[in-house]
Amino acid sequence: MSLTQAQIRWFRQKRSGLVDPFSSAEQVTARLAGVQAQILPAAALSLWNRTGRLTYAEFEALLYQRRSLVKLWGQRHTLHLYPSREWPLVQAAMVIRQSWWERQLAKNGGDVAAHRALLARIAALLRGRDTMGRGDLRAAEFDLADEFFSAWGGIFADLVKYGYACHARPSGNEGQFAHRENWLPDLVWQPPDSEAANIELARRYFRTYGPATVQDLAYWRGAKVAQARRWAAALQAELTSLELAGQAQLLLQDDLAELNQAPPRSRAWPVRMLYRFDPLLLAHRDKTWLIEPDYYSRVWRPAGHIEGTVLDQGRLVGSWRYDRKGSGLLITVYPFRPFPPRVTQAVEKTSQAIAQFFARPLLDLIVEKR
């Protein structure tokens, strides 16, 4: 099979929900096997870009009132949104990763059983409350060192890892956590085998982001290459191998026909304004299919930050940010090269829609000159 880069970009953009929208936010998070949520409004915009009819108020209702979405530490040990019904699947997949506390105990000859017993005691306290934050835990009867209250998760990260807790609505600037049985009392808790759970996530990865290498799967999952290779091997009967740019890349066999379709003309590609940490930008180790190397540092910034981006014909052509000014929104766009008129028009229209998503007026749209 002879494939062009345009075919690959079109296939990945379609499967990521950036051509034809998904039916719901829950479907987005299921098909993409999670949406990164280190910055919650960024996660909301990832869902908005893939559904087309979501507001931020509706997003918060899904997360905190209807609770059909759940916020957990997931792949790469970063915060993600998942469908609440799939919490058992996610927990089973992620539990194989040793937490920082467990690694320290193993390194220093600590008592792992005592740590697990501590988690159970804190979980029992959490079960008796609506929610609990770090301040509440400090006030409780536990002899905990300061590192257990780390802003990176602390002991709460282990409570999430073992399925005791999830993120609840914050109280001011303090994160809050709820016990699973209180937050989702009707959720059937039957986590599958961990290996089977990771194989299912690998299947979804190749369905959405293929063709991709085993190294890409390991990068996306935050796992060792040996683990990713094992999960891909378990899907051997479903996968096919393609040689692209001198690399063996994997794709589900059922997707070959769609991948081989010719992409549309340039005007038929939707222009998208993806916001920070969008899932499309986190799926492959090698970013050259998305962006020219000269512009890489304008998107992937120091300390792991990823900027908002403008996507045209499956390539990143600029970055953008929004700022809240009083009751309104200011959007600034930084083209890598001058935009053609159709991209400028799309950015103007999309910026208005982003302001409507946040229920704020668009005060100004600034497109920087290059």
d(CA 316, CA 17): 16
Instruction: Quote the pLDDT of residue 154.
Output: 86
Contact 354, 49 (CB under 8 A): no
Q: Give the model confidence (pLDDT) of 256-278 as tens digits.
A: 999 999 999 989 999 999 999 99
d(CA 342, CA 64): 38
Q: How many residues does the chain have?
A: 370
Nearest-10 crossing angle of helices 100-108, 154-161: 100
The domain 5-15+192-259 is placed in CATH, from the list 3.90.320, 1.25.40, 1.10.3470, 1.10.10, at 1.10.10
Q: Give the model confidence (pLDDT) of 2-33 as tens digits.
A: 799 999 999 999 999 999 999 999 999 999 99
Q: Which CATH topology does 99-190 take?
A: Arc Repressor Mutant, subunit A (1.10.10)
**Within the chain, which residue ranges are assigned CATH 1.10.10?**
5-15+192-259, 99-190
In the chain, which stretches have pLDDT less than 50? none
Burial of 347 (0-12, 13-18, 19+ CB in 10 A): buried
Instruction: Quote the pLDDT of residue 1.
Output: 65
Instruction: Quote the pLDDT of residue 26.
Output: 98
Asked whether the whole model's pTM tops 0.85, one would answer yes
